[in-house]
Structure 1
């Protein structure tokens, strides 16, 4: 055991009680790395009473699934809800059969049924998982979890904090408020009342003084865009949406929309008891506190870049996508229910799908070809545009200077147009939508097909 590992092991016992609250995965079935049991469970978020949530393995936060780059991972999902579900592995470039979209890539997991997922992550970084059925309720009530893919050669950080950001739609007694209303779905979405990190309100985690700390923020919220900043002016942005950036940059304030992730690097304070706090719009979210260690003169490890295919921009085809409000009169269904469709992609609201009924794709892409998506937000609200199975290379914006970077979720501001390239190298029918869940459920969803 080298000196640094000895120091780490010596600190482990002292720091165990202050690490992020984590639920262990159930004992997996033979041949599986993880087993996720999807079922209702009461959780404690506020002091006034328990919350009747939907959970993985009986609690919140969900188990942190850790896989390794280029190595297969097998996950068994058991549905103990009274409704169907699936699991989507957000940000992962994996085969279509493992993508977790009902009817488009797999049959729904019916109550009492089991589904086995197996894939080999090509990319390392911070990802997450969630259902793609009854999304407002299933995600809103707690079915969200972190998926961390460790690098093939893991960087030598002294602590790795996985922090899921979620606003809960609950009252002071723990009971749920409305997860959505038509008035809010038509605008920015319905905000929650209680801001949490890993299910706790402004927690403090102890880290080794002067240690190199990796801080992973994952926005698993249905609605809220977080503006992340820090009391440490030396905090560095290391990765955006699971993808390391070539040259880390100083964190001033970074927008993290629903579905998006942000990896930061900080050197912990050298003085025991000193703290660094991360905030959203001036409101503290989480604090790290230095405890005794023997580290000194540490620097932040460099993250290796992911093997994202380079787009052939000289031979790329440009496809225009316009995102707008649906100005039509809201239709009434035969049963008298109102069908709320507020959002359109190229003047088309998502029609829904079922077994034997898959709508036409929004675009058909030729396998192996480079495309430039011209993403135009023609509304006054921001939209995090997420594509499954692929990674965008963001090229430019009409609103701000862009240093090209890789992402699976492009955040569009008011009246912003962004050019984002991708290599259509993963065959299948890939969901393509706004990740504000109420927008997704009211028309802002479609799919592209790679032939």
Structure 2
């Protein structure tokens, strides 16, 4: 079998991120801009039609760039509402980062905007930075291949994961927050006397129509969370109850499909696979279970780590995993499942050799999956292959992560977006940020414009992974180190969309050295 077919681009990448662009290494730098469209599309989900959003490239949802190819994209908004796209995992100039009004406004319907910057290799993704649009699946894979990927000669399979509701995002958020105004008590900075622009997230970034943050009382959530399906919790942290899931979604999608009609990826006997996993869920932490196909975790968030062997690896919203799998030299089918933490729901795809029997897999397992990494054991096992250079720390900053289910408001350093105090640094400084989670929900914290290294877990120094999104479990602390980049305002926020929508965002304000 020739090299290109062995990589399985037609069988794997075309079906998972749209038809991948075949290698054009000699002309990678001279390629014209890629046309990318934010547009509506229709999916069939468990027999029901659903109108959602998407990001369509030349061959389908998502983009694949060749080694050395610049990110040259003409993005057109074919929706009837304004939007803007963030290139999650990339470090573009700040003006191209994709956050509303920081500094560029939303793209109006019909508008086209050009992007041009050096692409960072790895498994990344792109999504709207309007939370309700991301919940409508306005997101897609962004894979940037390296020369090492070519030399490895592995079939690449992308697993793009979503949670989904047939309800509108406004309805989902209203369900989560109680669905009514309640009283006029204060809660985590959202007191009733505050002007809306102070107590609510920025328009386009976190503002959610129909949600009156200032009117949420301490009792507005009373009784609702205990009766509402999806409020998964488990005892931990010294007997306190952790809140694992705050919504029961209608479906959990793997490459836009459920296990009632999963994608079947054709593989070879003895196939060598690189599985690129992206958790694009709004509010669901997932375990990846490779079952009988034992894997090696070789990269997180697009950055290589010392390989970790196993069959189950977890990832929070916004995070990515690269898992190498060497299949046995025999025919068969190997399900790759994504399990919802603290629950029985699951989704996934199936790797199968030609002619293999593919059995139906139920979308609900017999037992609940455990909570993800409450002891930070998985994070502690990750060691960067390309660590930050040693140098003195110029600046340290503690970020207290807080909030509650009653009322449903989430904060950084006690404040919601609009009342936040920026985290300040100067360009070129070595900065350590300490995320201290004092709430009973985990928070995947994402920093724009930078890659950071995990250097501390609950007070213990580690030489951890390079990342752009780190999961901070309840009642835990994670330290990350970074070198401050371009002088600009960079977003720093929780990637749990309902948390972001209720204010869990601040900014990393970098100023120029003088």
TM-score by length of 2: 0.71
User: Structure 1, unaligned stretches of length 5 or more?
Assistant: 293-304, 331-340, 352-358
Q: Hey, what does 1:322 align to over in structure 2?
A: 400
Task: State the number of aligned residues.
Answer: 404
Q: Does 1:193 align with 2:243?
A: no
Q: Hey, what does 1:445 align to over in structure 2?
A: 505
Q: Hey, what does 1:261 align to over in structure 2?
A: 320
Q: Per-residue CA shift, 1:170-208, capped at 9, x if unaligned?
A: 38xxx9894323535986543422111111113221211
Task: Confirm or deny: 8 A CA contact 2:36 2:74 kept in the other structure.
Answer: yes
Instruction: Specify whether residues 193 and 343 from structure 1 end up closer, same or farther in structure 2 by C-alpha distance, changes over 3 A only.
Output: same
Shift of residue 316 of structure 1? 3.6
Q: Does 1:156 align with 2:152?
A: yes
Match of 2:499, SS? helix
Q: Hey, what does 1:128 align to over in structure 2?
A: 125
Distance 1:176 1:44 in 2: 18
Match of 1:195, SS? strand
Q: Does 1:146 align with 2:141?
A: yes
Bigger mean CA offset, 147-156 vs 160-169: 147-156
Instruction: Specify whether residues 12 and 107 from structure 1 end up closer, same or farther in structure 2 by C-alpha distance, changes over 3 A only.
Output: closer
Distance 1:360 1:396 in 2: 25
Q: Hey, what does 1:238 align to over in structure 2?
A: 298
Shift of residue 89 of structure 1? 0.1
Q: Hey, what does 1:384 align to over in structure 2?
A: 444
Distance 1:165 1:140 in 2: 12
Q: Hey, what does 2:414 align to over in structure 1?
A: 347
Q: Hey, what does 2:309 align to over in structure 1?
A: 250
Q: Hey, what does 2:270 align to over in structure 1?
A: 210
Q: Hey, what does 1:302 align to over in structure 2?
A: none
Distance 2:460 2:288 in 1: 18
* CA root-mean-square deviation: 3.3
Q: Does 1:20 align with 2:18?
A: no
Distance 1:207 1:396 in 2: 40
Instruction: Specify whether residues 129 and 311 from structure 1 end up closer, same or farther in structure 2 by C-alpha distance, changes over 3 A only.
Output: farther
Task: Confirm or deny: 8 A CA contact 1:167 1:191 kept in the other structure.
Answer: no
Shift of residue 267 of structure 1? 0.5
TM-score by length of 1: 0.80
Match of 2:101, SS? coil
Q: Per-residue CA shift, 1:383-428, capped at 9, x if unaligned?
A: 0000001011001211889551110001010101011101112332
Q: Which structure 2 residues correspond to residues 17-96 of structure 1 after superposition, within 5 A? A: 20-23=15-18, 32-47=32-47, 49-57=48-56, 63-96=61-94
Q: Per-residue CA shift, 1:307-350, capped at 9, x if unaligned?
A: 775352x33421110011179x98xxxxxxxxxx7111111110
Instruction: Specify whether residues 275 and 71 from structure 1 end up closer, same or farther in structure 2 by C-alpha distance, changes over 3 A only.
Output: closer
| Corresponding residue to 1:404 among 455, 464, 468 | 464
Q: Per-residue CA shift, 1:237-269, capped at 9, x if unaligned?
A: 011111111x20113432211111111000022
Q: Hey, what does 2:105 align to over in structure 1?
A: 107
Task: Confirm or deny: 8 A CA contact 1:180 1:189 kept in the other structure.
Answer: no
| Corresponding residue to 1:310 among 384, 389, 403 | 389
Q: Does 1:183 align with 2:176?
A: yes
User: Structure 2, unaligned stretches of length 5 or more?
Assistant: 22-29, 179-220, 222-242, 356-383
